[in-house]
């Protein structure tokens, strides 16, 4: 990447103009400074069509406005985060900001100002670079370095929200009076400007509202989740096609292969891919992905493409690396598949959220009892004591959306203790994990981990599996792999 130049500060205006490069200051001649001011074409765009989700973001803002009448609401996109020295992680806008605006610009802030009839929304963004004062090429955020931005007028047309210069916002917030709430954790400068005006409790209520607002997805969101699942399915196919190359290298080949699909078709991966071959499959969050890939073992791949509009899939398949399950692998796989089928069947409007977990856990407990792993205990006693959890380890699913664990700030009463409604989207992902050092199971079980995970939309009359294009049943998995491996 290119190095950044830092502008001369206002105090230095009597001094020679300077650039800073690699920590060294370089003087800029008056002639060059003058030269850089002019000779640039006007590239302002007019008549831009609104973004595809503009009507949806307007409806989301209207619902937010109705919940907090008379209060100023501040929702930042967040800032770049340093990776090391002067390099940064790639920017990902806050979910709250992207949900309400459809915009993903770093340092952007949405503000809803209370009015007599509701709220007036304004989006605060960095405008195009000034050529006259040199920020265009001397400033680190100058467009010469980071690329052309939309002008405020262009942003307004695209987003359907009046736009102002974000550099004016901290002072405006400090001067403003009346009740205000801010989504914390994204923008330290905004928080500093509001420090005397907000309380943690009231800010938390705003965060909770925005989490619960996303429990039921609108039509745009459902289409995005379908896109995410479709790209993810293609990413899984990519992986199957290169399993021989992964065997010759490591799990990293799988991680890199899926990442390529995510970057080409979407924004990114929605979370760190779990590429767990052999016994690594029993480590729930195996993201080191540096292990060997061996024929005869299973690959547990848990990965999701995040779309350009920031909706992610969350899919897991457990695949025989050589294309065929052996007997013990298939026994465990079939048990998890049966549990997942029971879980998916329990996803329907009006059902308790907890039902799909209970249904899947019951099947897994039955299998563990049947295999003699729990002594003389019957299934009811096992479930009562939760003893199956030595091998099932985790809950059976979670809400899915812009965040892989979406709606995480929602209250228990609105989420875990609530009933399912059409438009909710959740994962159903039972698993069985036999640690390599688990002396309570026969040796043949040890080091085997199986999870099957799909993304299930609650519909008016039941559910729809958004990731159904990837086979799950064992014979179908083998046939699919044989076809792809050619
Ligand atoms: Mn998941």
- pLDDT tens-place string over residues 439-453: 999 999 999 999 999
Measure 453 CA to ligand 1 centroid, in angstroms.
7
Measure 302 CA to ligand 1 centroid, in angstroms.
8
1-10, 231-240, 264-273, 370-379: segment of lowest average pLDDT: 1-10
Q: Read off the pLDDT of each residue in 180-189 and give the average, rounded to a whole number.
A: 98
Give the chain's end-to-end CA distance (angstroms, integer).
Answer: 40
Q: Report the C-alpha gap between 258 and 461 in whole angstroms.
A: 34
Query: 16 vs 411, which has greater pLDDT?
Result: 411
- The yes-or-no verdict on residue 10 having pLDDT over 80 is no
Measure 134 CA to ligand 1 centroid, in angstroms.
48
Which tokens sit at 307?
A: 């779309």
Q: How confident is the model at residue 19 (pLDDT cuts 50, 70, 90)?
A: low
Looking at residue 486, its pLDDT comes to: 82
Measure 276 CA to ligand 1 centroid, in angstroms.
15
Q: Report the C-alpha gap between 456 and 333 in whole angstroms.
A: 20
Give the Å distances, CA to CA, from 193 to 108, 160, 170, 180, 183.
15, 26, 5, 12, 13
Which tokens sit at 205?
A: 């209520």
Report the share of the chain in percent with pLDDT over 90.
93
Looking at residue 6, its pLDDT comes to: 52
Measure 314 CA to ligand 1 centroid, in angstroms.
5
Q: Read off the pLDDT of each residue in 122-131 and give the average, rounded to a whole number.
A: 96
Q: How confident is the model at residue 27 (pLDDT cuts 50, 70, 90)?
A: confident
Greatest alpha-carbon pair distance for the chain in Å reads 90
Q: Read off the pLDDT of each residue in 278-288 and give the average, rounded to a whole number.
A: 97
Measure 283 CA to ligand 1 centroid, in angstroms.
14
26-30, 190-194, 281-285: segment of lowest average pLDDT: 26-30
Looking at residue 483, its pLDDT comes to: 98
Residues 6+ apart with CB under 8 A from 177: none
Looking at residue 140, its pLDDT comes to: 82
- The yes-or-no verdict on residue 269 having pLDDT over 60 is yes
Measure 399 CA to ligand 1 centroid, in angstroms.
9
Q: Read off the pLDDT of each residue in 396-401 and give the average, rounded to a whole number.
A: 98
- The yes-or-no verdict on residue 18 having pLDDT over 70 is no
Measure 248 CA to ligand 1 centroid, in angstroms.
29
88 within 8 A of 70, measured Cβ to Cβ: no
Measure 205 CA to ligand 1 centroid, in angstroms.
26
Measure 427 CA to ligand 1 centroid, in angstroms.
6
Residues 6+ apart with CB under 8 A from 216: 421, 422, 423, 424
Looking at residue 25, its pLDDT comes to: 61
């Amino acid at each position: 990447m290119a190095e950044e130049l830092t502008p001369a500060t206002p105090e230095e205006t009597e001094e020679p103009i300077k650039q800073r490069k690699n920590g060294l200051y370089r003087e800029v001649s008056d002639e060059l400074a003058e030269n850089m001011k002019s000779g640039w074409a006007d590239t302002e765009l007019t008549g831009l069509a609104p973004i595809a989700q503009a009507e949806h973001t307007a409806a989301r803002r209207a619902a937010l406005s109705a919940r907090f009448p008379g209060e100023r609401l501040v929702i930042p996109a967040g800032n770049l985060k340093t990776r090391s020295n002067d390099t940064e992680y790639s920017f990902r806008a806050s979910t709250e900001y992207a949900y309400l605006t459809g915009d993903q610009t770093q340092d952007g802030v949405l503000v809803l100002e209370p009015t007599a009839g509701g709220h007036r929304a304004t989006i605060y963004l960095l405008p195009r670079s000034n050529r006259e004062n040199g920020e265009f090429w001397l400033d680190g955020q100058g467009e010469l370095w980071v690329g052309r931005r939309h002008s405020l007028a262009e942003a307004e047309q695209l987003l359907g929200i009046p736009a102002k210069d974000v550099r004016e916002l901290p002072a405006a917030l400090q001067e403003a009076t009346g009740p205000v709430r801010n989504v914390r954790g994204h923008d330290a400068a905004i928080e500093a400007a509001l420090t005397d005006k907000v309380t943690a409790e009231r800010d938390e209520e705003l965060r909770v509202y925005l989490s619960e607002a996303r429990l039921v997805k609108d039509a745009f969101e459902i289409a995005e989740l379908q896109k995410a699942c479709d790209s993810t399915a293609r990413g899984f196919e990519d992986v199957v096609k290169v399993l021989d190359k992964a065997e010759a290298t490591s799990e990293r080949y799988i991680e890199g292969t899926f990442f390529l699909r995510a970057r080409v078709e979407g924004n990114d991966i929605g979370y760190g891919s779990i590429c767990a071959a052999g016994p690594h499959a029993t480590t729930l969050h195996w993201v080191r992905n540096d292990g060997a890939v061996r024929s005869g073992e299973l690959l547990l791949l848990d990965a999701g493409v995040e779309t350009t509009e920031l909706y992610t899939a969350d899919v897991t398949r457990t695949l025989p690396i050589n294309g065929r399950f052996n007997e013990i692998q298939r026994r465990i796989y079939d048990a998890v598949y049966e549990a997942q089928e029971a879980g998916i069947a329990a996803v329907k409007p009006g059902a308790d959220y907890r039902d799909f977990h209970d249904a899947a856990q019951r099947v897994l407990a039955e299998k563990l009892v049947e295999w003699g792993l729990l002594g003389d205990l019957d299934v009811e006693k096992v479930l009562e004591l939760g003893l199956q959890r030595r091998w099932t380890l985790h809950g059976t699913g979670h809400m899915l959306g812009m965040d892989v664990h979406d709606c995480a700030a929602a209250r228990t009463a609105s989420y875990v203790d609530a009933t399912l409604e059409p438009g909710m989207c959740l994962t159903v992902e039972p698993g069985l994990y036999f640690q390599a050092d688990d002396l309570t199971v026969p040796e043949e079980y040890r080091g085997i981990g199986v999870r099957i995970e799909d993304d299930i939309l609650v519909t008016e009359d039941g559910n729809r599996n958004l990731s159904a294009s990837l086979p799950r049943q064992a014979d179908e998995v083998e046939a699919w792999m044989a076809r792809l491996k050619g």
